[in-house]
Structure 1
Amino acid sequence: MTAHVFPFSAIVGQEDMKRAMVLAAIDPSIGGVLAMGDRGTGKSTAVRALAGLLPPIRAVAGCPVASPRPGDCPEWAEIADTRVVSRPTPVVDLPLGASEDRVTGALDIERALTRGEKAFEPGLLARANRGFLYVDEVNLLEDHIVDLLLDVAQSGENVVEREGLSIRHPARFVLVGSGNPEEGELRPQLLDRFGLMVDIASPGDVETRVEVVKRRDAFERAPAAFVRDWAPEDRALRKRIVAARKALKSVEAGDAALRDCAELCIALGADGLRGELTLLRAARALAALEGAPAVDRSHIREVAPMALQHRLRRDPMDEAGSAARIARLIERVFGPVAAAAE
């Protein structure tokens, strides 16, 4: 029996979250997505729906890290099938209680006991290579797992040295995290690793809430029919993502766009240059998605809240949320939207 996944296009509202995930799918170098908000607002649903939306990748059939060519597979991998095939983009869940061995991989105990051989059993990081790694309730992750993820995110490589094994393999993935801020804050080092952050709230109007319940009820009553009805919408969005990926390198970002990014980050008081780089990459991905030949101020305006709000320094005198403060900052630096359009 096939397990059906709620279609990405059928998710009601939460446009910022969906837009952030699509941009990260277009350009993984943006650095991942963090969605923080109330329980039951579709965070996990959106991530799982993303798996069905993403275009497939070409990978060696028997390679545990989905290498695109046989020669790229790790030396420790015993590959019986070297055919290059099409397979779904990996979207891997990292559960809260996962041990370090499960995340990084470890000695294959069964082979060690039955054959006396030291062999490596790949972990979640190997499965997530070239795909997405999803952590629900990411703010509750144990510190040693957070440290591990930071190291791998920095290097793009997983290194395991224990029990006489010395193993390396590529581990490049888009990190997607979700959580409820009332249950604890994220460590600043991990927060900074997310390229984009969005705040998720329950819909505040009756019509939207009714539509959410209506679609969820329809899906649960007849999942196959519901998925079939929304398949054209998902296919159309998948085509846009594929086209945007191809167009990404040709999208220009002139000096004016670079100055806009720098002025915003200076006004923000951001440390380092990660803010500018993330803002530029997200704006370029949005321009590619819209079919624009170059990044302009409208693209920067749209992605700035999700690219910069988690890089704000705390202001105990300002009770407004981070997104609201970013919006005020954009208006101060760029002027009102109406004025900019004239």
Structure 2
Amino acid sequence: MKDVEQQYPFTAIVGQSRMKLALILNVVNPKLGGVLIRGEKGTAKSTAVRALAGLMPDLKVINLPVSATEDRVVGALDIEHAIKTGEKKFEPGLLAAAHGHILYIDEINLLDDHIVDVLLDAAAMGINTVEREGISYTHPSRFLLVGTMNPEEGDLRPQLLDRFALSVEIGGEKDVRERALVIRRRMDFERDPASFSAQYEGEQERVLNQILQARERLDQMDVSDDMLELAAQIGIALEVEGHRSDITLIKTALTLAAWRGQASVSHEHMQEAAYLVLPHRMRRQPFEESGGIEQRLHALLRSTAMVQA
């Protein structure tokens, strides 16, 4: 039974460095606002999410199925009971169960837009409010929102994409040796999960300690006016609507600096954060692929003097 419950170690995942970084940053700073992972099937998206929970003590994955109704997600008020007794009776939903944990939605692009909006509101505010027939109930709901999807099956509306703090696009490994290593590790894990996981205990512990130290460091960090102006300059240059991207860029750069063990935000942190925060907020040009967006972003970052010659 123990082998069946054993999670694949987070530090054993081959490659996918940007996806792993995005997940870790959201654990270091739960106020970031979640991550959207886009990629073809079989690229370790679900494995990484569950492995992250295995890395952190007391962190669980709460799955939200695409077929979930609004009452199942937000919870339900028993109106008849309230009328008869004058007391509120609330049946908790998935947002209550996810408090303090990971709320994971696979194929989030197939979820009803209204429910996605509700999820993002709760993730941003840290509370969930249910209102029915003039009766309301509020409870805390702070969770790490992770959505995964295959872009070939349709995309989220731009308004919803913008609400995710970070977004990454991943694909299968192209290097032969790395791809073979993926196969080898998975076969070894399935043969003997406990023994395989034991090989990574030291690395798992090291990453956990780095996360905990980064959390402490983050509370003591500030950002210079120069970096704030740089964030504004980037937002204007990219013609990104609103200010959410500017604020998220700064928060992500701060979190990166804390994760890297540094006391202040540098140009390099801003650059690295930009590749997590901005591509899904940029307007896609006709017939432009995701790689084209990154190339355009890189060119624009160079024009704002972010990449030092």
Indicate whether the TM-score tops 0.5: yes
The separation in 2 between residues aligned to 1:206 and 1:147, in whole angstroms, is 41
1:255 aligns with 2:257: no
Tell me the residue number matched to 1:323. Answer: 294
- Greater shift in the superposed pair: 206-215 or 325-334: 325-334
Tell me the residue number matched to 1:138. Answer: 108
Tell me the residue number matched to 1:40. Answer: 42
The separation in 2 between residues aligned to 1:227 and 1:212, in whole angstroms, is 15
Decide whether the 8 Å contact of 2:77 with 2:130 is kept in 1.
no
Shift of 1:179: 0.4
Decide whether the 8 Å contact of 2:36 with 2:164 is kept in 1.
yes
| Corresponding residue SS for 1:271 | coil
Taking structure 1 as the reference length, the TM-score comes to: 0.82
Return closer, same or farther for 1:154/1:236 CA change in 2, 3 Å cut-off.
closer
* One-letter amino acid of the structure 2 residue matched with residue 306 of structure 1: L
Tell me the residue number matched to 2:149. Answer: 179
Return closer, same or farther for 1:164/1:260 CA change in 2, 3 Å cut-off.
closer
Tell me the residue number matched to 1:68. Answer: none
Tell me the residue number matched to 2:23. Answer: 21
* One-letter amino acid of the structure 2 residue matched with residue 40 of structure 1: G
The separation in 2 between residues aligned to 1:234 and 1:317, in whole angstroms, is 42
Tell me the residue number matched to 1:8. Answer: 10
Decide whether the 8 Å contact of 1:107 with 1:163 is kept in 2.
no
The separation in 2 between residues aligned to 1:332 and 1:202, in whole angstroms, is 31
| Corresponding residue SS for 1:272 | coil
Return closer, same or farther for 1:92/1:321 CA change in 2, 3 Å cut-off.
farther
- Greater shift in the superposed pair: 147-156 or 89-98: 147-156
Taking structure 2 as the reference length, the TM-score comes to: 0.90
Percent identity, aligned pairs only, is 50
The separation in 1 between residues aligned to 2:273 and 2:46, in whole angstroms, is 22
* One-letter amino acid of the structure 1 residue matched with residue 263 of structure 2: P
Decide whether the 8 Å contact of 1:90 with 1:129 is kept in 2.
no
1:332 aligns with 2:303: yes
1:272 to 242, 251, 258: 242
Cα deviation, 1:106-132, whole Å, max 9, x if unaligned, reads 358xx99xxxx9742211100111232
The separation in 2 between residues aligned to 1:176 and 1:315, in whole angstroms, is 27
| Corresponding residue SS for 1:316 | coil
Shift of 1:318: 4.8
Shift of 1:251: 2.3
2:185 to 196, 209, 215: 215
Decide whether the 8 Å contact of 1:195 with 1:278 is kept in 2.
yes
Q: Which runs of 5+ in 2 are unaligned?
A: none
Tell me the residue number matched to 1:147. Answer: 117
How many matched pairs? 301
Tell me the residue number matched to 1:313. Answer: 283
After TM superposition, where is structure 1 displaced by more than 6 Å over at least 4 residues in a row? Answer: none
Tell me the residue number matched to 1:234. Answer: 204
* One-letter amino acid of the structure 1 residue matched with residue 140 of structure 2: P
The separation in 1 between residues aligned to 2:70 and 2:218, in whole angstroms, is 36
Decide whether the 8 Å contact of 1:251 with 1:292 is kept in 2.
no
* One-letter amino acid of the structure 2 residue matched with residue 308 of structure 1: L
Q: Which runs of 5+ in 1 are unaligned?
A: 57-87
Cα deviation, 1:290-316, whole Å, max 9, x if unaligned, reads 111110001111121111111102222
Tell me the residue number matched to 2:93. Answer: 123
* One-letter amino acid of the structure 2 residue matched with residue 16 of structure 1: R
Decide whether the 8 Å contact of 2:245 with 2:278 is kept in 1.
yes
The separation in 1 between residues aligned to 2:117 and 2:219, in whole angstroms, is 33
The separation in 1 between residues aligned to 2:99 and 2:239, in whole angstroms, is 34
Decide whether the 8 Å contact of 1:137 with 1:180 is kept in 2.
yes
The separation in 2 between residues aligned to 1:103 and 1:333, in whole angstroms, is 43
The separation in 1 between residues aligned to 2:225 and 2:74, in whole angstroms, is 42
Shift of 1:104: 1.5
Tell me the residue number matched to 2:158. Answer: 188
* One-letter amino acid of the structure 2 residue matched with residue 259 of structure 1: E
